[in-house]
Structure 1
Amino acid sequence: MNWTKFEKELEKAIFSGKHITFLVGAGLSVESRIPTFRGKEGFWKIGSKNYKGPEIGTFRMFNLNAIEVWKWFLFRKTICRKAEPNRGHFILKEIEDLLGDQFALVSQNVDSLHKKAGNSAERTYLVHGDLDYARCGNECSDTLYPFPELEDKTRESDISLEEEKLLMCPKCGEYLRPHVLWFDETYNEEYYKIYTVTEIADNSSMLFIIGTSGSTFIPGHLIDRVSHFNQPILDINIADSEYSYFIKDYSEGYEARETSTEALEKVLAIIKKIKHENGKILRTTK
């Protein structure tokens, strides 16, 4: 990774006044001990069969066995509730403070750690939903309800009859569902801001990809939009991903094979340096 060359690109991006977009995946939250859906922790046992996270986290499974899906998400919610933001989350908050309205955070994470770290709701786009909320599984309305307040759950925990009542939609009586994008569903603007983030990508002077394997639609989509306008892309990941072949061949592509925190520390230092050296000019840049 040529950080000297990248610094010049980042300075140009800041002076452009356009969005500088940070696309975040589960790799950022691994340092907060939140397991990924596809990792070794991402399975669920029903009877004698083991299901992977992408099998449990589907509307199909919800229709077949809503209680088992809720058990899985109540367990995950317990993990997220106990987790605290790591240094990488707090760096993103510092970067937002430095960049202001140029900053755009597009997160695939549903764990609430960006909120805990202090990133603003106005500049954060949760494209896979938010485990702080639930909505009617029958879509009787588009109302978002606070995530049901049940006691902490483990993999072995059952749901009592009294607790089950808290999982019902107050309007129609059907099961609520976690407010997340499931693996067999498609993005929309109403819940997941897909058109908004597409417009942001089209108006970005730089894209950071942080801790994502590229197994979902969003990384490839944003890479396609940003590269169409020949803007720089920095992939921060500890290993190659599904889009690495493109980044390696892309004339404006950069790779940092480091942890999210290690690379973001360097990015933060560069932004502080640019801001310090060009403070008066940048304050007048729109």
Structure 2
Amino acid sequence: MRETVRGWIGEARRIAVLTGAGMSAESGVPTFRDAQTGLWAQFNPQDLATESAFRAHPQRVWDWYAHRREMIADVQPNAGHAALAAFAARHPGRLTLITQNVDGLHQRAGSFDALALHGNIADDQWLDAPRACCQPDTIAAGHPPRCPVCGNLRRPAVVWFGEHLPAEALEAAEQAARTCELMLVVGTSGEVYPAAGLALTAHQCGARVVIVNPEATPLDAVVELCLREPAALCLPLLLA
């Protein structure tokens, strides 16, 4: 089956790749619940990933994300991340990488134009719409940092529960799903929407869809092939 997919990759002029948490887990990135250790074991992670939680307890939420950032800092991209970046470099314009992961491993591997649907945990943004006084060079240190004039807080630049995905990234991802000839769905559960819907869009628009995942997913029934392999093993062989 792998050789069949290699043939499809060779034929496709436009390829989309959707990656999820399983790919990051192969590098050792802690899952959402794995971060609930020590002090944080008493909290439900979903209670720390909402705007209302941040407004009610900004230091608590900020420190939890600082804890998660520390857990990710020493993790390295795996061979699957590297294979995607290398393929895109060899074939400019053919591959659109879409990720649900916030760890930045794709970008660190060289996929600088990856569409990060859920943001990047290493980045910050203003909690409220910035005023003229909210300038990057005047941010006051703290937990969280803030504008020293109006008090506007900095927050992690990730999509929290109840928030919309970034419109520009989602639009570009949907366009890639509609126009690709082949989509690889890698290491994602296929349960989180609207990201999982991109695979259905690609299928409905006539693209071949291939799952790369050691585990079964709800999307398996509508795709052409399922490769039950980890991304770090499978992608280098598919994209060499």
Please state which band the TM-score falls in when normalised by the shorter chain. Answer: 0.7 to 0.9
Q: Which has the higher contact order (CA 8 A, sep 6+)?
A: 2
Name the TM-score, length of structure 2 as normaliser.
Answer: 0.87
Give the Cα–Cα distance (whole angstroms) in 2 for the partners of residues 110 and 180 of structure 1: 7
Which is higher, the Rg of structure 1 or of structure 2? 1
State the match for 1:169 in structure 2: 147
> Quick one: distance in 1 between partners of 2:66 and 2:236?
33
Q: Which residue of 1 aligns with 2:210?
A: 234
- Secondary structure at the counterpart of residue 130 of structure 1: strand
What residue number does 2:235 align with? 264
Give the letter aligned to residue 18 of structure 2: L
Matches within 5 A, 1:1-286: 2-13=1-12, 17=13, 19-37=14-32, 40-43=33-36, 49-51=42-44, 53-121=45-113, 124-140=114-130, 163-164=142-143, 167-169=145-147, 172-190=150-168, 193-247=169-223, 253-269=224-240
Structure-2 change in CA distance of 1:241 and 1:120 (3 Å): same
* Per-residue deviation, 1:21: 0.8
Report deviation, 1:25: 1.1
Q: Are 1:133 and 1:145, in contact at CA under 8 Å, matched by a contact in 2?
A: no
Unaligned runs of 5+ in 2: none
Measure the CA separation in 2 of the matches of 1:239 and 1:224.
19
Please give the secondary structure, in 1, of the residue aligned with 2:65.
helix
Distance 1:145 1:181, change over 3 A: farther
Query: What's the % identity of the aligned pairs?
Result: 24
CA displacement at 1:47 relative to structure 2: 8.5
Q: Secondary structure at the match of 1:216?
A: coil
Q: How many residues align?
A: 238
What amino acid does structure 2 have at the position aligned with 1:73?
A: Y
SS of 2:215's partner is: coil
Alpha-carbon displacement from aligned partner over 1:90-143 (angstroms, at most 9, x marks no partner): 11111112221111111111112122211233xx11111112321111233698
Q: How far is the alpha carbon of 1:46 from its aligned partner?
A: 7.0
Q: Deviations over 1:210-257 (max 9, x none)?
A: 11112321442211210112211111111112323333xxxxx21011
- Cα distance in 1 for partners of 2:211, 2:136 equals 35
Q: Cα–Cα, structure 1 residues 79 and 268, in superposed 2: closer, same or farther, change >3 Å?
A: same
Structure 1 unmatched runs, 5+: 149-160, 248-252, 270-286
4+ residue runs of structure 1 moved beyond 6 angstroms? 44-48
